[in-house]
Amino acid sequence: MRYGSFIYILLGFVFLSCSQKQTKENETGSSFQQMYQMSEMALLMEDMYSSLEKDRALVEEGKTLGEFPEKFNQIHTGKMTETFERTEEFKRLADLYLQSLNQLYDADVNDPHRATYFNNTVKSCITCHRSDAGCIGPVSRIGKLLIPSKSN
Ligand code: HEC
């Protein structure tokens, strides 16, 4: 009996301290929250992702994409989470992404290869994410951006 209630008290304590952590996190922006804050690079990546989502629709509707989004050149300078490093491989794969994106933005609206250029850009994201320079986590999410080929 005594032992049983001890377990309940323990469980209650664990539960409470978890929710306490949460309120503290929300109220004061403690170091716990800072640990989970997104890096400059992670924010840039999310921006790159949503920009491609928009481009995808425009490519499919045969519309112009507008100006090349220069801000994405920041892939070479944006601060990353400590676990990542700007290695030679990283720089090479970042250039590959920028080149693919340039080719997509340079293409004429009537260019029949626009979907291919778009997919090449998505693949350049995936190439880095599969390599040591990136992280495998978002790969399946990025892959959903691919435009299915019309010939199939
Ligand atoms: C040269 C390598 C490289 C390329 C190219 C690249 N990424 Fe990333 N990506 C990273 C790294 C490194 C991180 C982790 C950044 C950090 O946490 O500081 C990341 C993080 C992410 C994240 C997770 C961000 C988060 O919420 O924490 C997403 C989503 C993402 N990238 C999508 C993309 C998309 C979409 C593209 C192409 C448009 C792309 N990436 C191209 C290296 C790359």
List per-residue pLDDT tens for the chain, 152 residues long: 566 665 555 454 443 322 233 333 444 445 554 556 889 999 999 999 999 999 999 999 999 999 999 999 999 999 999 999 999 999 999 999 999 999 999 999 999 999 999 999 999 999 999 999 999 999 999 999 999 986 54
pLDDT of residue 149: 81
Q: Report the atom number in ligand 1 closest to the C-alpha of 124.
A: 5
CA 90, 96, 100, 106 torsion-angle sign: positive
49 within ligand 1 shell (Cβ under 6 A):
yes
Residue of the CA atom closest to atom 39 of ligand 1: 125
Angstrom distance (rounded) from CA 88 to CA 126: 17
pLDDT of residue 5: 63
Q: For the range 142-148, what are the long-range contacts, defined as Cβ-Cβ under 8 Å and sequence gap of 24 or more?
A: 142/49, 145/49, 145/52, 145/53, 145/56, 146/119, 146/122, 147/56, 147/59, 147/60, 147/115, 147/118, 147/119
